[in-house]
Structure 1
Amino acid sequence: MPAPPRKQLRVTLGQHSLAGSHAPVNQDFHGAMLPEGALRVSKGIAVALADGIGSSRVSQVASAAAVRGFLDDYYATSDTWSVQRAAQRVLGATNAWLHAQTQRSDARFDKDSGYVCTFSALILKGRDAHLLHVGDARIHRLHAGALEQLTEDHRVRVSSVESYLGRALGAGAHVEIDHRCWEAEVGEVYLLATDGAYTHLDAAAVHEALALHADDFDAAAHWLAEAARTRGSTDDITVQLLRIDELPDADAPPAQLQREGLAMPPALAPRARFEGFSLVREIHVSSRSHVYLATDDATGQPAVLKLPSVDLRDDPDYLDRFVLEEWVARRIDSPHVLKASAVERPRAHLYVAMEYVDGHTLAQWMVDHPRPDLDSVRGIVAQLARGLQALHGKEMLHQDLRPENVMIDRAGTVKIIDLASTHVAGLADGSGDTRALAIEGTLQYTAPEYFTGHGGSARSDLFSLAAIVYQMLCGQLPYGLQVSRIRSPADAGRLRYVPVRHLRPELPAWVDAVLQKALHPQAAKRQQAVSEFVHDLRTPGPEFLSARMPPLIERRPVLFWQCTTVLLAAAVVVLLGLRAFGR
């Protein structure tokens, strides 16, 4: 019996706008994007409106530019970005453009006559609703007897009768955009309105409009706009009504990673033909996957084929992460991150095709170079950092950085591989919790915050990178297996850094200071980014050059307690001798 079709995000939308009764031009502007297919899944549905300020003769230009620019540019942002990052980046650019237009015009001497407007948008993606807002337009959620205001009016009250906009698009070179996110529910109705509308409408009016025009939300929005006019509004009036009709299933995998219709691959052997490839040899077989070197029959180029493990083919979570690797690789353009194969022909089976790297792992390099010089280590770290920066720039966390997941080709280029554990903010949107909480990587390289339930960040990948640097220099891990035993912040606080110079005394003292900061149990106390860590390893600042020698209890805890025991024993002997002498 075939599985029932997956639920999709579906809404009903209605919109209407009226110019003010005494205004020659409507300074409001509104719009919406309801894309189909993959774009609806990756970016969602967006509804937006803007309201120009009455003191400006060009604010209608600002309103139109804000809404049109937002709806066009938001859907052009990377699908790896979260809704918040994509929307705020677009609005930041729009704000800068509007402010620049004002600065180029006569309005630069009077900010109240420039390219300024309010802006509010509602984005639905997956099962989540996102609010973006600046100014005093409003977004409400309709209840049986009330309109719940979800936005905050950015108005400064001078008196009971006088106020002015405290925040708006175009008012300054930079702007703070409010963002809220919550889990949506089927049947919810949202009202977006400018002040010319909402000051004259209430929940009863919205319910009446919906009762009169249940099958035509445009007509309902029109009715509400006319009702506001009838009730005394002389300002521009804009109303948008949106109802959520269907939401994706809560346990549905990200549709960007759909694998329906693809059969599981058969057992393969060298010289076999598979999906337009000829298998050359087996590279690696584990409980997680089967990896083969193959040649593309069409181009003759080598490729690496990864097939899902036979034992895990019934595990949907495993299969979702399996297809994630190639999806991530196709969205990263860096010589230091493994690329997906250039082959994009249709597939009948589930597999991953990646570029072939002719070289060896960093783990093997460490075996071959047990006591590397600092410059060699820094050269590798710099390349690894650039790979991580490429991931972080797309709001991705690798989460499984370790020597076995780093390749060095014959030209010396360092590449991060195995992207199946990557956390992608854009895919997490709509799932109820966008944080990177799951422990996906190898425990001894995983940052403490994963074990305490706080979740990962770019500084967590930095911790893993610093652990690798420590291991490259001295052949050991900074905390051994202690990190994997952490269950609370108190446990993390008991971690003790053992200096590299215990095993490599010829290294500069500041190296330990830099590493100790990057490996701090608290993420907030590490370097802010991998680029800062790389800089510190090459050009240490006064913070590290003047670092004091750690106390003996941190450097040599066993020796500290041995010495303490000896001193205490000696003190006891002396006291006993004095007591005997006193008698």
Structure 2
Amino acid sequence: MPNQLQLSIGQHSDKGRKEINQDFHGVMIPKEPLLSTKGVAIALADGISTSEVSQIASEAAVTGFLSDYYCTSEAWSVSKSAQRVLLANNSWLHAQTRQSQYRYERDKGYVCTFSGMVIKSNTAHFLHVGDSRIYRLRDKKLVQLTEDHRFWVSQEQSYLSRAMGINQQVEIDYYSQPTFCGDVYILATDGVYEFADTDYLLNTIIELADDLNRAAAKIVDQALQQGSDDNLTIQIVRVDAVPDQTANEIVQQLTALPFPDSLQPRDNIDGYTIVRELYASSRSHVYLATDDNSGKQIVLKTPSVDLRHDAAYLEQFLMEEWIARRINSAYVLKPSPQDRKRHFFYIALEYIEGQSLAQWMIDHPKPDVESVRQIIEQIVKGLRAFHRMEMLHQDLRPENILIDQSGTVKIIDFGSTRVAGLLEMDDTLDRSSVPGAIQYAAPEYFLGEPGSEESDQFSLAVIAYQMLCGRLPYGTQIPKIRNRKALRSLSYQSVLDEERDIPVWIDHALRKALNPDRYKRYEDLFEFVHELRHPGRRFLSQSRPPLIERDPLRFWKGYSLILTFAVLFLLYDRFT
């Protein structure tokens, strides 16, 4: 196809003389339009020998990068997309180590090196952490493009100074350069580059130009013969064709897409025909549209033209689609398939035919307890999908929860979602304001503290409370909090009343999930939903009637026995 990027790729990996292979590698070559808008991604990772789980880290780093990179917006640059994905992956790896038996021995945790590249249009982008390497072969000259992140204590002793998963934050080397037809890039772990002969490597790639997989295998074999005692992985990427400058300019323009004008029924935008407007506000417009290719109904969300220069707003707008692509849950809104080039700034999401939880609450002002439980349990399943990805929704409220015609709950609107590991890159965002609707926000947000999983739990409990009684647990007091004294003065209002048949233990569960102190809430959301159905141990111990009520005879017998001993002691003391 004219004006299209074309590559030839060969790969090979071997455990060598070790029992298992802690390396992992992969390539993703998408079809159009992603080939033009996102490019081709190549990556390898090398687990460290001191860890028994680093092969898991290597696989997670590579597969996470290759999948999540293509979930980012086409309007983002390669640098922004790739680094955001790697920071999120690093945060996840670090969290796995913290939650494991290796939390005090980081070099035995979920740690690996990472080297990757993205070739988009006629530019090669490189990303690197650790001591695996990327080389460029041009005009029979081999040039190392990456710097080893290794600190040498002596000639015999060294350690990695930077790697994925070691710390909560990681510094990623990024740089880019033009690429030309005939360029060859080599990604290799130290088991290969420390032992493979350079002349042999160059000659093998030239001789086996038509079979780069075989070339990669021969280079690995040669490194083994030269005494390599580590895992061995190599990737060879040859550029066979690059788009011309005209095509490149088109691709570059996608990073500055124009805002669409106000859309009307029957208008067509990139193959989507507008049916009607669903919702409009000062921040965005939401339309029901039909996909001309599949005939399915989808939702198009366009930003407000008045906010085109608001960097924080545009950042949040684009984050919503990326987050939707990263979360795979039946209880979370899904994005529309990314199967065409975009010429305007918008996001496309699945259409849910149903109603919001806010409308459901209006239609069911006094729902039975079981209906409330079923809805809350589904929301928890969707919320757990966020938390597993190190994300906080931060804007749980009835308007952001849809119920489809089958009764399935869907969490929507990810504009306030916080992704771990990305905050250091979001310099344009104002994080000082309270995310989401203030009626459902946790008290810690009003103290200027960052959110946590317990903050989402609080918002969920407010929704459950409101569904049961139509009120808010603290009235209008929470938005007024400005210090810890005010926090401690909050008084929980019981959900129980004379008009509703609500089990007492449910009020106890809500009181705990709605505790103003985040550290006194439930440690796990499933514990909360379990105690909405079953009395918890703490409730049972607190609500156990006194012995005089449970067994009066036993109480008075015990009391009489104590009095008898007291009288005998006094008599003994008097006559001795």
TM-score range with shorter-chain normalisation? 0.5 to 0.7
The 2-side partners of 1:35 and 1:437 are apart by 40
Contact 1:259/1:350 (8 A) holds in 2: no
After TM superposition, the structure 1 stretch with the greater mean CA deviation from structure 2, 258-267 or 408-417, is: 258-267
Superposed CA deviations along residues 152-202 of structure 1, whole A, max 9, x for unmatched, are xxxxxxxxxxxxxxxxxxxxxxxxx98334675989xxxxxxxxxxxxxxx
Q: Does 1:508 align with 2:507?
A: no
Following superposition, the deviation at residue 504 of structure 1 comes to 4.5
Distance 1:89 1:43 in 2: 25
- Secondary structure of 1:330's partner? helix
Tell me: CA distance 1:35–1:450, structure 2 relative to 1, closer, same or farther (3 Å). Answer: farther
Which residue of structure 1 lines up, in the alignment, with residue 488 of structure 2? 493
**Offset at 1:265?**
0.9
1:83 maps to which of 74, 90, 93: 90
- The residue aligned with 2:355 is 360
Residue in 1 that maps onto 2:270: 275
Amino acid at match of 2:323: V
Query: Displacement, 1:439?
Result: 2.7
Aligned twin of 2:34: none
Tell me, yes or no, if the aligned pair for 2:278 and 2:286 is still in contact at 8 Å. Answer: yes
Q: Deviations over 1:267-322 (max 9, x none)?
A: 21112122211111111110110011111112221111111012211112111111
Please give the alpha-carbon distance, in whole angstroms, between the structure 2 residues aligned to 1:477 and 1:76. 44
Contact 1:446 1:460 in 2 (8 A): yes
Alignment counterpart, residue 325 of structure 2, candidates 313, 325, 330: 330
**Matches of 1:446 and 1:265 in 2, distance apart?**
33
Aligned equivalent of 1:381, options 373, 376, 384: 376
Q: Is 285-294 or 404-413 further displaced after alignment?
A: 404-413
Deviations 1:121-168 (A, max 9, x none): 45699999899xxxxxx986589xxx99888xxxxxxxxxxxxxxxxx
Residues 91 and 169, structure 2, Cα contact 8 Å, conserved in 1: no
Alignment partner, residue 452 of structure 1 = 447
Which residue of structure 1 lines up, in the alignment, with residue 49 of structure 2? 50
Corresponding residue SS for 2:255: coil
Q: Is the 8 A contact 1:128 1:432 kept in 2?
A: no
In structure 2, the CA distance between the partners of 1:288 and 1:525, relative to structure 1 (3 Å rule), is same
CA contact (8 A) 2:331 2:411 kept: yes
Measured against aligned partners, the alpha-carbon deviations of 1:34-65 in whole angstroms (never above 9, x if no partner) come to 9999999999996654369xxxxxxxxx8xxx
Partner of 2:398: 403
The equivalent residue for 2:289 is 294
The residue type equivalent to 1:411 in the other structure is S
> Counterpart amino acid of 2:278?
I
1:93-104 residue pairs with structure 2 within 5 A? none
**Which residue does 1:370 correspond to in 2?**
365
Unaligned ranges ≥5, structure 2: 1-16, 30-36, 69-84, 117-125, 132-147, 175-189, 196-227, 231-252, 545-576
Which amino acid in 1 is paired with 2:62? Answer: Y
Q: Provide the C-alpha distance between the structure 1 equivalents of 2:127 and 2:485, rounded to a whole number of angstroms.
A: 36
Decide whether aligned partners of structure 1 residues 183 and 324 sit closer, same or farther in structure 2, where only a CA change above 3 A counts.
closer
Confirm or deny: 8 A CA contact 1:308 1:351 kept in the other structure.
yes
CA contact (8 A) 1:361 1:404 kept: yes
Residue of 467, 481, 485 corresponding to 1:472: 467
**In 2: Cα distance, 1:405 partner to 1:119 partner:** 35
Comparing 532-541 with 69-78, greater Cα deviation is found at 69-78
CA separation of 1:91 and 1:382: change in aligned 2, threshold 3 A? closer
Q: Residue 338 of structure 1 contacts residue 415 of structure 1 at CA under 8 Å; is this kept in 2?
A: yes
Three-state SS of the structure 2 residue aligned to 1:473 is helix
Say if 1:418 and 1:72 are closer, same or farther in 2 by CA, change over 3 A: closer
**Which deviates further from its counterpart, 67-76 or 466-475?**
67-76
Determine the C-alpha separation between the residues in 2 that align with 1:523 and 1:127: 38
Question: Residue 348 of structure 2 aligns to a residue in which SS?
Answer: strand
Residue 74 of structure 1 is aligned with which of 43, 52, 61?
A: 61
Structural RMSD (CA)? 4.9
Q: Are 1:179 and 2:166 matched, yes or no?
A: yes
3-state SS of the aligned residue for 1:487? coil
Q: Distance in 2 between matches of 1:366 and 1:119?
A: 45
**Superposed displacement of residue 494, structure 1:** 1.6
Greater alpha carbon shift after TM alignment, 435-444 vs 282-291: 435-444
Partner in structure 2 of residue 391 of structure 1: 386
CA positional deviation for 1:86: 2.8
Q: Distance in 1 between matches of 2:371 and 2:502?
A: 13
Instruction: Give the TM-score of the pair, scaled to structure 2.
Output: 0.58
CA distance in 1, matches of 2:470, 2:371: 15
Contact 2:265 2:275 in 1 (8 A): yes
In the alignment, is the contact (CA less than 8 A) between 1:486 and 1:492 conserved in 2? yes
CA shift at 1:462, angstroms? 0.9
SS in structure 1 of the partner of residue 355 of structure 2: strand
8 Å contact 1:398–1:419 — kept in the other structure?
yes
Map of 1:407-556 to 2, 5 A cutoff? 407-425=402-420, 427-428=422-423, 439-502=434-497, 504=499, 506-547=501-542
Counterpart Cα distance in 1 of 2:350 and 2:495:
36
1:238-286 alpha-carbon deviations (Å, 9 max, x no partner): 9xxxxxxxxxxxxxxxxxxx96132211221112122211111111110
Partner SS for 1:267: coil
Matched letter for residue 477 of structure 1: L
Structure 2 residue aligned with 1:199: none
CA contact (8 A) 1:128 1:182 kept: no
The two structures have a TM-score, normalised by structure 1, of 0.57
User: What is the alpha-carbon distance in structure 2 between the residues aligned to residue 352 and residue 523 of structure 1?
Assistant: 35
SS in 1 for 2:274: strand
Alpha-carbon separation, structure 2, partners of 1:522 and 1:442: 20
Question: What CA distance in whole angstroms lies between the structure 2 residues aligned with 1:509 and 1:130?
Answer: 56
The alpha carbon displacement at 1:351 in A equals 0.7
For structure 1, the residue ranges without an aligned partner over 5 or more in a row are 1-24, 53-61, 96-115, 132-137, 152-176, 188-216, 223-235, 239-257, 550-583
CA distance in 2, matches of 1:543, 1:327: 41
TM-aligned CA distance change 1:148 to 1:312, over 3 Å:
farther
Identity of aligned residues (%): 40
Change (3 A) 1:128 1:464: farther
Q: Deviations for 1:442-501, whole angstroms, at most 9, x for unmatched residues? A: 111111222223311221111101000111111111112222222233322221101011
Residue 439 of structure 2 aligns to a residue in which SS?
helix
Q: Is the 8 A contact 2:152 2:158 kept in 1?
A: yes
The amino acid across from 1:85 in the alignment is W
Aligned counterparts of 2:255 and 2:101: Cα–Cα separation in 1:
40
Structure 1 residue 378: deviation in Å? 0.8
Q: 1:42 to 1:490 in 2, by over 3 A?
A: farther
Q: Deviations over 1:196-255 (max 9, x none)?
A: xxxxxxxxxxxxxxxxxxxxx99x999xxxxxxxxxxxxx999xxxxxxxxxxxxxxxxx
Question: C-alpha distance in 2, partners of 1:519/1:124?
Answer: 45
1:261 match: 256
The 1-side partners of 2:463 and 2:278 are apart by 24
Aligned pairs, how many? 403
Which whole-Å CA distance do the structure 1 matches of 2:530 and 2:402 have between them? Answer: 23
Q: Which amino acid aligns with 1:179?
A: I
- In 1, Cα distance between the equivalents of 2:452 and 2:113? 27
